[in-house]
Structure 1
Amino acid sequence: MSVEIQNEPVPEGGVSQSDARVQQLAEPVEVRSARSEPGERIEAPAGSTSINNSSVTNNTVVNNTTTNTNNTVVQQQAPLPPGAEVVERVGGRDILSIVGAGVAGAVVGGAAGYFIRGNDDDRIAVDSQERYYERLPRERTRETVVRDNGVQIVTITNRYGDVIQRSRVMPDGREDVLFYDPYERNYDDGDYYEDPAAGLDPIDLLIPMDEYIVDPREPDEDLYYRTIVAPPVETVERIYSVDEVRRSERIRDKVRRIDLSTINFAFGSDAIPQEQVPNLQALADAIARVIEQNPAETFLIEGHTDAVGSDLANLALSDRRAAGVATALTDYFDVPPENLVTQGYGEQYLKVDTESENAENRRVTVRRITPLVKPVESAAR
């Protein structure tokens, strides 16, 4: 892809048109409404959260204080793809051991890799009026979260809990498709967790590194915004599921990232210091500008740790850091929670190559992944 396309300024309201120049799919993809198939109402399925009192526990952590809503939450296990098993369950999240080399997005340990399965559902359902489930064909499940203002968040998952589609349905029936996987992997594939980018060449970066990885020491809304709306740095040849993006470093590297150095975590902590919460304002405002232009945008919030501690403990800690920042963006700055997905990577991607404690490695990063997870300029109406 040419430097001109990568460097061309994106006009206000022109994000989708900019992405469309980079997303070059072999065949057009028709995005279906998340409500197009009839479903059978069921109890909360395996891998979901049952809720009493129409709400869930809110785990926003600020200044080492956890605010909890007093509701009963019952977690259930989802079936796992071939070659995966749960080695630990921490805070409602499964840490998986995945057999095989070259596993996408996994922290390698011996003959297996470790990967934490995040859970955005509870964050999205906080303060909802109702939450119900339906069984769909091909062992899929549709979850609908109904808010007091009539907005519905509809999420479809496969039998293993991987997200196929998420949509926001407005009270007037308008549907914004946030992400959509048109391919739906074969459940019996032994290579379920293989990296979807295994056949791609290394990225040939044609722009300066400081424009590809943005790391301002002070909050800068305009810089955040320019980075977020900039097109991917190489052609997007197919649509990826959100979970494929979470698991594949090579796929994530197609889009630019922001290292959020203005939020500094203490060693071993996922708490956002109270005095640093205002540092999220500039990022929230930049994200809000993009969502105002296109309500169907998706942002990935990634959590990281330094190299001190075990792989499993660091995976869990990093996932809490990502979820904490996402929750703070919603609770303090009204960023819609359904536009944010989170994932922890533990110590896998150190910013500073050291085995010692290091504050720069205890960080959160942000990417706009919209052009990776849905056909641009497409929405079900």
Structure 2
Amino acid sequence: MGFLTLLEVAAMPMLQVLLISTLGAFMATKYLNLLNPDSRRYLNKLVFDVFGPSLMFASLVKTVDLQDIFTWWFMPINVGLIFFIGGLLGWIVVKILKPEPYLEGLIIATCSAGNIGNLILVVVPAICNEEGSPFRDRNSCNAVALSYASFSMAIGGFYIWTYTYHLVRSSAIRYKAIQDAEEALKKPNKDLDANSESHLLNVDYEDEAKPIDEVSSGKAGDERSSSWGKVTGILYQIEEELMAPPTIAALVGFIFGCVPWLKNLLVGKTAPLRLIQDSIKLLGEGAIPCSTLIVGANLIQGLRSAKLRPLLIVGVIVVRYMILPVIGMGVVKVAGDLGFLSPDPLYRYVLMLQFTLPPAMSVGTMTQLFDVGKEECSVLYIWTYLVAAFSLTMWSTVFMWVLS
């Protein structure tokens, strides 16, 4: 397969994202005013509550199989390594470049969460269909590639709506707590008989008037209650995140996919409830274009008000397109040498390609949902997807050369 052909295959999904983003940006202008802030918020809520969960459920029910899980058991580990290593590298970028506090979660999320599945679903079968493909014959390659890509999308979505969702949500909560504290400090003292030190002096005098044992026991009780409050707060936060619609859809879809008689109710030409599966799949197909439109609409405001330094964009690009692919080749090579992988070169190619993809579009949905960093997210996506066409081409060529 020639370089120009490979460039065309890799560039097509990126150009689709850029075209739909451009359409979203135009729809947000004053000429059409179809995606104003309120419209984007409502559309994003639909993606989060309806379209995204439908995509997760339909993908998992169709692709998850116990036999495949035993055969492809390394793929969930591979994707987990991408999120872990990418998150660690993103944290290093944050510590070195020190962005605004509300951007920390966004930078780490875009470094760790790749567009796993959606782009593989386009790129890998397209490579299989090209003349001169190094992977099997065209028909068998295309069928297996679709299975690998669908399973990748299901696993990637599960990590995104658990790990990445927790990351973006926690970052938004911390930032809003800092904002609230700063606003509270700015409020003037309304007590006419008190100055700025009166409250502190009263607290000190009250503590001095108490017996030492009473003060120490009170502090110990406060520490215990504070520790228990932190534990219950963490447990409540975990419970709330597990009850998010995409997470519930992922868990239910995984159960339906793994239990044969449940799967047979929904999947297959003779399935009695296949109409339900087809309807859910149809709803899920709206998740990606709607998310892309929202990213493009946010770009209009982001170009005016985004506080995203060029070095932060460069940092994310370096992590996603230079460091992670090299690590991916090493991980797959070591796992293959240890006998953890099947000898199928297409399977190993998919594992390597998962380390090379641009940020997941779902991160944009999360920033819109929590109203933190959505403009910066749009600007970051435009640049990363522009670079991705050339990066995917280069690394795909390298991967196929290594595996041939």
Instruction: Place the TM-score, normalised by the shorter chain, in its bin.
Output: under 0.3
The structure with more helix, counted as a fraction of residues: 2
Greater radius of gyration (CA): 2
The structure with more strand, counted as a fraction of residues: 1
Bigger RCO of structures 1 and 2 (CA < 8 A, at least 6 apart) = 2
What TM-score do the two structures reach when normalised by structure 2?
A: 0.25
